[in-house]
Amino acid sequence: MAAYTAAVVWALYAAGAWTFDLLKDTIFWFVLSGLAVAFSVVLAATDGSIWRRVVVDQLKVVVVLEYIVNTYAFSFPVELVLVPVLTFLAMLDVIARSDVKHAQVVRLTGGLQALFGFGVLAVATAQAIAHLDAVQTADVLRSLLLAPTLSVLFVPFIYLLILVTTYESLLVRLKLGLPKDPGVKWYARRRLICHLGLRPQKIRTFMCAHAWDLTRIRTKADIDTLLTLDDPAGRRSSGASALTDTIVYFAYGSNMLSRRLRTPDRAPSAVAVGTGFVQGRRLTFDKVSSDGSGKCDIEDTGNPSDRAYGVVFKIGAAEKPNLDRAEGLGRGYREELVKVVTSEGTSDAVTYVATAKEPALRPYHWYKALVVAGAVEHCLPSDYIEWLRTIHSQPDPNAQRCAQNESLLFGR
């Protein structure tokens, strides 16, 4: 990154658009903007909104930079204090955005950066009006245009960084799962790059659909089959896997607990492949159950700010009928294909949605405990887990059923 920035600066110098008087300004841009953006890309390489976030971060920081680099804006002692503070805020903002549970920190850092930015803009505008003749000089114009110019010229590097980190997230799957001959790994890498090209979003989409499949390949024929069956309108929409006869299943209730889902009457082969949420849904405990209690449902609210969190599993297709019976498909639940937002993008998955609901119902203590245990096992957002713990529940009058289900909490 430093070498790329140096090359850009050298090109600007050769074109007469950069002078050594701008060295301090360039260092400020590199520390406050360049490093922060690169760090953000590394933390969120698989986030589809990374480009929007990069632009927003650039605009935030550039406002501050325009004032800092202005030769009459701050005295040197003030800069010694302000620059570390702004750098700390920028880095803290980037780190906080890597985890949804830090949303309050993001709001705080964003507000502080905006406050600095508006204050700086007001003072800088007043200074510019007071020194209008100086602003019109070539040196000051170069100084004012430096940060936006460097940001624009930084785009190719950021794109390459996103592309490389996204491919790394994909290709590391070849090292997992079944053992593979080095020649097969090399062939798979070459075929994947030729197939997916230079489009990070296409790589993310492929990774969501086939991360598990990549761990199961053994031969060159397997990778050829996988790429041949990579059809967005066909196989993926059914939630099925290309190389193994599996189903992508989204669990949001008691089935989030692996021991619960892997019981013999459900899906013993279930493997958790990630966590995520369904947007525009909220979790409720009002699905009518045959035992008289309330079970989980993800209610469609139509509000994009609502999120129902859960766990994405791969289960054997042959086990799906057992899971249907255990869940009561056709007897209180219907099957639905939902789009799950994960750290690697959006993935289609099968889940069960309630058809019979009663708002007055409450879950049994053991059922609520299974839901909370599953959320804890898979590290769902801490505020979501705390909300689950606040759900009102009731004792189960059937002691035998209660003991049988509670045994899953302790692995007995």
| Residues 118 and 92 both lie in one domain | yes
Q: Which of residues 238, 266, 285 is at a domain's end?
A: 238
Single-letter code of the amino acid located at 404: Q
| Residues 277 and 327 both lie in one domain | yes
Residue 263: the pLDDT is 92
| Residues 357 and 232 both lie in one domain | no
Domain count of the fold of the chain: 3
| Residues 308 and 329 both lie in one domain | yes
Residue 215 pLDDT class (50, 70, 90 cuts): confident
* Cβ atoms of residues 92 and 105 within 8 Å: yes
Q: Which of residues 238, 260, 287 is at a domain's end?
A: 238
* Average pLDDT, integer, range 58-70: 47
For the ranges 190-199, 227-236, 338-347, 350-359, the lowest mean pLDDT is seen at 227-236
HEC secondary structure over the chain: CHHHHHHHHHHHHHCCCCCHHHHHHHHHHHHHHHHHHHHHHHHCCCCCCHHHHHHHHHHHHHHHHHHHCCCCCCCHHHHHHHHHHHHHHHHHHHHHCCCHHHHHHHHHHHHHHHHHHHHHHHHHHHHHHHCHHHHCCHHHHHHHHHHHHHHHHCHHHHHHHHHHHHHHHHHHHHHCCCCCCHHHHHHHHHHHHHHHCCCHHHHHHHHHHHHHHHHHCCCHHHHHHHHHCCCCCCHHHHCECCCCCEEEEEECCHHHCHHHHCCCCCCCCCEEEEEEEEECEEEEEEEECCCCCEEEEEEECCCCCCEEEEEEEEEEHHHHHHHHHHHCECCCEEEEEEEEEECCEEEEEEEEEECCECCCCCCEHHHHHHHHHHHHHCCCCHHHHHHHHCCCCECCCCHHHHHHHHHHHHCC
Greater confidence, 249 or 93?
A: 249
Question: Residue 391 pLDDT > 90, yes or no?
Answer: yes
Residue 266: the pLDDT is 94
Question: Residue 232 pLDDT > 60, yes or no?
Answer: no
| Residues 301 and 214 both lie in one domain | no
Dmax over CA atoms of the chain, in Å, equals 87
| Residues 376 and 264 both lie in one domain | yes
Residue 259: the pLDDT is 92
Residue 362: the pLDDT is 96
| Residues 233 and 260 both lie in one domain | no
| Residues 115 and 197 both lie in one domain | no
Domain housing 288:
246-410
| Residues 399 and 258 both lie in one domain | yes
Q: Does residue 160 form part of some domain?
A: no
Residue 31: the pLDDT is 75
Greater confidence, 283 or 61?
A: 283
| Residues 270 and 379 both lie in one domain | yes
Tokens of 242: 């290309």
Closest alpha carbon to 374 in 359, 384, 360: 384
Residue 216: the pLDDT is 73
| Residues 91 and 120 both lie in one domain | yes
Residue 18: the pLDDT is 86
Q: Does residue 277 form part of some domain?
A: yes
- pLDDT single digits (tens) 266-314: 999 898 988 999 999 999 999 999 999 999 999 999 898 999 999 999 9
- pLDDT single digits (tens) 171-209: 888 887 677 888 999 999 999 999 999 888 888 778 766
| Residues 224 and 341 both lie in one domain | no
Q: Does residue 381 form part of some domain?
A: yes
Q: Which of residues 95, 121, 153 is at a domain's end?
A: 153
* Average pLDDT, integer, range 11-21: 86
Strand partners, 251: 311
